[in-house]
Structure 1
Amino acid sequence: MNRTARLYALVEELRAAAPRPLTVAALAARFEVSTRTVQRDLQALMETGIPVRTTSGRGGGWSIDPQMTLPPIRFTTDEASALAVALAAADASAPYAAAARTAAQKLAASMTGPASTASQELAARIVALPARNDSAVRAAVEQALTRNLVLRLSYLDAAGRESDRVVEPAGLLTANGRWYLIAWCRTRRAGRGFRLDRIAEAVPTGEQAQPHDLKELLLNSAAAGAVQPTALASLTPPP
């Protein structure tokens, strides 16, 4: 068993035993490797964000929170290929690109057989031209959206004019390969779209933003007809 497969199997072994902890010695015996190897693997899982934890003392060992992980997912070859294409589209300039990369690593580790082969072969045939990557701006926008925080922006319009804005984020719009932050602009007292690659600086203020309906902010704009991507419909809670 190679290391990638063993890491995946370790997670499933801990899930099956949860909430009971397993000792390093027991895991080493289960996978027929040294305790040092298991310890190194468990540390690697922690570093990638897998919710494994260790407790010391009598009855201690390693465990995982099953509510924070997904059970095994069996992808078809078509589904695996679709994921390869979707993750390729999440380039460095896209929102949550870093999370997309770690998700891709976890998906790759979980796939085996024809599905894994299909995704690897297709991934090798996809290339992209590098895009402008302002990680500080992207991280600030992600934080503001996730925590519903007011943002202070320095923004360049299509003519290159710079202005300072204070905005309350409502959501994201993607169109023709571009990403836009849709927000209520306190400066203009109206809904506005801010192209992410034109945001020169973004700073979360720490102030909680007022809730704004994304569809309402898009009314009477060029993006009024925007709809939710079909692939995301199953992730959205019912009204």
Structure 2
Amino acid sequence: MLSSARRARAKVLTISREDQLAPVDEALASMFVIDVQPLSEAAISLIPGAIAARRVVRLGYTSTHDETHTTRDVEAMGLLRGGDAWLFVGWCRLRDGIRGFQLDRIRHLEITAEVFPERDPAVLDTDLSRWRTRRLG
């Protein structure tokens, strides 16, 4: 996968106009793509930086319920220990709410250049209460 990502980067730069090269190269340089099964410690070590920088993380994820594969853009919020698993927690744009993702079910991780805006704390508190009830309850 990493060689595919490098080839894709080279293609994007090749088709970019001269006046676009610097911003395109800068945007591409700020993305990190990790595609390993299971997610490596090196990949996991990038998550705290994404949380601190309020970066959007794109995940390839396999559901625990029916083994469905989805791609999700997640606003990084934290890492939690839940039972026997570590969870990456964030605002899932696909589900429009807080979700937890077991690290061992993440198949692809991309830390994007997008910095997400702060969400209304009341919305987070309400959704977090629902999430805790579903997860722990």
Asked if TM exceeds 0.5, the reply is yes
Tell me, yes or no, if the aligned pair for 2:39 and 2:106 is still in contact at 8 Å: no
CA gap 1:203/1:215 in 2 versus in 1, 3 angstroms: same
SS class of match (1:220)? helix
For residue 142 of structure 1, what is the aligned residue in structure 2?
48
Tell me, yes or no, if the aligned pair for 2:48 and 2:78 is still in contact at 8 Å: no
CA gap 1:175/1:223 in 2 versus in 1, 3 angstroms: farther
Q: Distance in 2 between matches of 1:187 and 1:200?
A: 17
Tell me, yes or no, if the aligned pair for 2:39 and 2:107 is still in contact at 8 Å: no
Residue 157 (structure 1) aligned with residue 63 (structure 2): yes
CA gap 1:223/1:173 in 2 versus in 1, 3 angstroms: farther
Superposition map of 1:223-234 within 5 A: none
Q: Distance in 2 between matches of 1:150 and 1:138?
A: 15
Residue 191 (structure 1) aligned with residue 98 (structure 2): yes
| Higher Rg of the two aligned structures | 1
User: With structure 1 as the length reference, what TM-score do the two structures score?
Assistant: 0.35
For residue 102 of structure 1, what is the aligned residue in structure 2?
none
Gaps of 5+ in 1: 1-131, 227-239
Gaps of 5+ in 2: 1-37
1:59-103: per-residue Cα shift (whole Å, max 9, x none)?
A: xxxxxxxxxxxxxxxxxxxxxxxxxxxxxxxxxxxxxxxxxxxxx
For residue 210 of structure 1, what is the aligned residue in structure 2?
117
Deviation at 1:174, TM superposition (A): 1.2
Residue 176 (structure 1) aligned with residue 86 (structure 2): no
Higher relative contact order (CA 8 A, sep 6+): 2
Q: Distance in 2 between matches of 1:151 and 1:172?
A: 13
Deviation at 1:225, TM superposition (A): 9.2
| Structure that is richer in strand per residue | 2
Letter in 2 for 1:155: Y
The alignment covers a number of residue pairs equal to: 95
- Identity in percent: 29
**Structure 1 vs Structure 2 CA RMSD:** 2.5
